Amino acid sequence: MKNNHNISSSLDSRFNQTLNNVQGLLKGRSIPGKILLTRRTDPPEDPSLQEHSPSFGRSFSENDVGTSDRIDMSRECTSSFTSSCDLDILGVLIAYLLCTYGYAPPNSDRREGVLRRKRLEYLDCVAQFYDIPDTERSDDEINMLRQISVDCPRTVPDVTFFQQEQVQKSLERILYAWAIRHPASGYVQGINDLATPFLVVFLSEYLEGDIDNWSMDDLSPDKISDIEADCYWCLSKLLDGMQDHYTFAQPGIQRRV
């Protein structure tokens, strides 16, 4: 039991470092041979403002105590990737995020099947709740989607890649799918920023070089859907233990002060 606790602590520590490092990418750091983030000198102006799986309905998140501790710890990490990093480190990060976050099993024989099932579940959610006319949404859902659509262009505004319409649409689908399945909190501003590290890491498996030269047009619709699904499930796991930070009166935050 003690050994399992040590392993868990080690994984948490490694994840915190990983998340901090990936967030560092969005601030202009780079990994040699894979990604080079560039920043624009002038940030763009704010823009003006089938059958579905019955198991994929609106539902409350399962509480996973400890996730918020990981986030707090990640903010305390100060180290970043250096020029001595292995060129394949992002491939390792991808596998690590998928497995450590409980989204995909570490057993490679089972992983492909689980990923396929989870990705189909995400597509069902998008088809059932996002790809519908506003006449089928409640007023709260319409307002929530409108807020997400306003926030997406504001996400990492000084990195041109995130100003591409296709990127913003992917982010919009991920955030709306998460919010619709977590009605206790719904969408809260700032969650969009938590999704970006996952999006960068999973896209980096297919897009190389300077991130400002990346284009979603280089990816097939199926590949984009897979990347969105992976981001969605990792974001869900990240926020599972933090949902009460965003509900009325913010009890999760109150417990920590």
pLDDT at 20: 55
User: What does 154-223 look like in DSSP terms, one character per residue?
Assistant: GSSTTSGGGGSHHHHHHHHHHHHHHHHT-TTT---TTHHHHHHHHHHHHHTTT--EEGGG--GGGS-HHH
Average pLDDT over residues 14-30: 46
Instruction: Considering only residues 30 and 188, tell me which one the structure prediction assigns the higher pLDDT.
Output: 188
d(CA 74, CA 66): 13
Question: Sheet of 209-210: strands edge to edge?
Answer: 30-31, 35-36, 209-210
Residue with tokens 């394949």: 88
pLDDT at 198: 86
Please compute, for residue 92, the number of CA atoms within 13 A of its CA located in the half-sphere on the CB side. Answer: 8
Percent of the chain clearing pLDDT 70 (strictly above): 51
Predicted TM-score (pTM) of the model is: 0.64
Instruction: Considering only residues 174 and 111, tell me which one the structure prediction assigns the higher pLDDT.
Output: 174
pLDDT at 105: 60
User: Does 152 score more than 50 pLDDT?
Assistant: yes
17 token code pair: 């470092």
Report CA-CA distances (Å) from 192 to 100, 196, 197, 225. 22, 7, 10, 18
Average pLDDT over residues 28-40: 35
pLDDT at 177: 96
d(CA 234, CA 227): 11
Instruction: Considering only residues 200 and 248, tell me which one the structure prediction assigns the higher pLDDT.
Output: 200
pLDDT in tens, 78-132: 233 323 334 355 555 555 655 555 566 666 667 778 888 999 999 999 999 999 9
Instruction: Considering only residues 221 and 64, tell me which one the structure prediction assigns the higher pLDDT.
Output: 221
d(CA 70, CA 51): 38
Q: pLDDT-derived band of residue 215, with 50, 70 and 90 as boundaries?
A: very high
Instruction: Considering only residues 67 and 154, tell me which one the structure prediction assigns the higher pLDDT.
Output: 154
d(CA 15, CA 97): 8
Mean of per-residue pLDDT scores for the chain: 68
pLDDT at 86: 42
User: Does 68 score more than 70 pLDDT?
Assistant: no
- Rounded to the nearest 10 degrees, what angle do helices 221-239 and 67-76 cross at? 100
d(CA 208, CA 114): 27
pLDDT at 210: 86
Residue with tokens 């719904």: 186
